[in-house]
Structure 1
Amino acid sequence: MSLYLGIDVSKRTLHLATPEAFLKEFENSPRGRQKLTQHLKKLKPQLVVLEASGGYERSLSEALQDADLPVHVAQPSSVRYFARSLKVLAKTDRIDAQVIARFAAATNPAPSEKTPENVKKLRALCDRREQIVGDRVRESNRLEACSDPDIAADLRGSIARLKQIEKDLDKRITQLREADAELSQKASKLLAQIGVGEKTTNMLLAHLPELGRLKRGQIAALAGLAPHPRESGSWVGKRRI
């Protein structure tokens, strides 16, 4: 009999359940994820589904994939609408884990592809660059409103440091991209398109690794850019993404 498991992911905890019952709680920490992985390997599930949770699920999904366990990361909206269809109104971590497991058993989604190591590294570098840019913009805004010369000098120093970090990250991103044959090839094709520059290319390579492996309609749908029909009987509404 196929075993489908659901994991509710939060910042500090991981709740594991089958469609029938809650099983166990683990810490969302390196040690907790290791214990959960070992536990799952003993259970030998058909599929493990976890809900995307603001990035808190990423370390777990990667750990399970490294252990050769079939994992699917589901969109929260898909699980939420499924829960509504079941008329599940209560919401706790344990109930959520069980709903995710029921979603897994009912839909049997395909396991998520394992992310290559260089793509993981590129994603981390691009995410860090975005954080640094955000910090620099905030410091610049503070400088514009600052009337104290000492604080202004401190802000200018902070902005200069952040600009240097941003420059260093750009260099590391380029080096990583050029050292990987597949990333380099994809980058060349993207940069050849009008209006696509270095930053857009890096973000696409980091966060949309399926580029080049899916058909244009599939990749558009995955990126949320495919217009979906809205029709009922003779009524035809506007298609929306």
Structure 2
Amino acid sequence: LCQAGLPAVAVNPRQVRDFAKATGKRAKTDRIDAFVIAHFAAVIKPVVRPLNDVQTEQLQALLLRRAQLIDMLVAEKARLERAHAAAKESLNDHIKWLKQQLTVADTDIDSFMRSSPAWRQKEDLLRSVPGIGPGAAATLIAFMPQLGSLNRREIAA
């Protein structure tokens, strides 16, 4: 919905189901479900998720790719431990390549983060907290755009 430019919200499906039960709607068909979801939205009025801008989507894509590279690296290292000697050279080559790609991804994320003064400011603030490194800061900025505009209870919810 967001990619199509339409407003969207994320709600727990159990809440919608419980709402349906509370209003006496126990049957489940597409038509009834659509009515229940619309009624839920009209009554509960969940907060509409802000649409991501192009830069935020690009940062999210870079972070997701980095996570994929880490997953592949972990898998290859696990394979290496059980591998026959004939396969170890290939696995080591792939591990080396994945590490290089991970370094490239980190550089890309860092330079992308530095391209925005607003992101630089948020990153500097986040990194001032002990335990928050560049990866955590970039992830929070990309996937929690509400950070800084909501209070702690709203963020936790």
> Which of the five TM-score ranges fits, normalised by the shorter chain?
0.7 to 0.9
- Alpha-carbon separation, structure 1, partners of 2:82 and 2:26: 48
Deviation at 1:134, TM superposition (A): 0.8
Judging changes above 3 Å, is the alpha-carbon distance between structure 1 residues 103 and 143 closer, same or farther for their aligned structure 2 residues? same
- Alpha-carbon separation, structure 2, partners of 1:77 and 1:164: 43
CA contact (8 A) 2:5 2:51 kept: no
Paired amino acid for 1:154: S
Which aligned pairs between 1:45-84 and structure 2 lie closer than 5 A? 60-65=1-6, 70-84=7-21
Deviation at 1:93, TM superposition (A): 4.4
Q: Which residue of the other structure, out of 119, 128, 144, is the alignment partner of 1:183?
A: 119
Judging changes above 3 Å, is the alpha-carbon distance between structure 1 residues 182 and 86 closer, same or farther for their aligned structure 2 residues? same
Quote the RMSD (CA, aligned, Å): 1.9
Q: Which has the higher helix share?
A: 2
- Alpha-carbon separation, structure 2, partners of 1:92 and 1:155: 50
Structure 1 gaps, min length 5: 1-59, 223-241
- Alpha-carbon separation, structure 2, partners of 1:115 and 1:89: 36
Higher mean displacement: 170-179 or 108-117? 108-117
Paired amino acid for 1:97: A
Superposition TM-score, scaled by structure 2 size: 0.87
Deviation at 1:211, TM superposition (A): 0.8
Structure 2 gaps, min length 5: none
Q: Which has the higher strand share?
A: 1
Q: Percent of pairs identical after alignment?
A: 35
Deviation at 1:168, TM superposition (A): 1.1
Judging changes above 3 Å, is the alpha-carbon distance between structure 1 residues 140 and 89 closer, same or farther for their aligned structure 2 residues? farther
Paired amino acid for 2:2: S
CA contact (8 A) 1:190 1:201 kept: yes
Superposition TM-score, scaled by structure 1 size: 0.59
What are the superposed Cα offsets for residues 21-41 of structure 1, whole Å, 9 maximum, x if unpaired?
xxxxxxxxxxxxxxxxxxxxx
Judging changes above 3 Å, is the alpha-carbon distance between structure 1 residues 108 and 218 closer, same or farther for their aligned structure 2 residues? closer
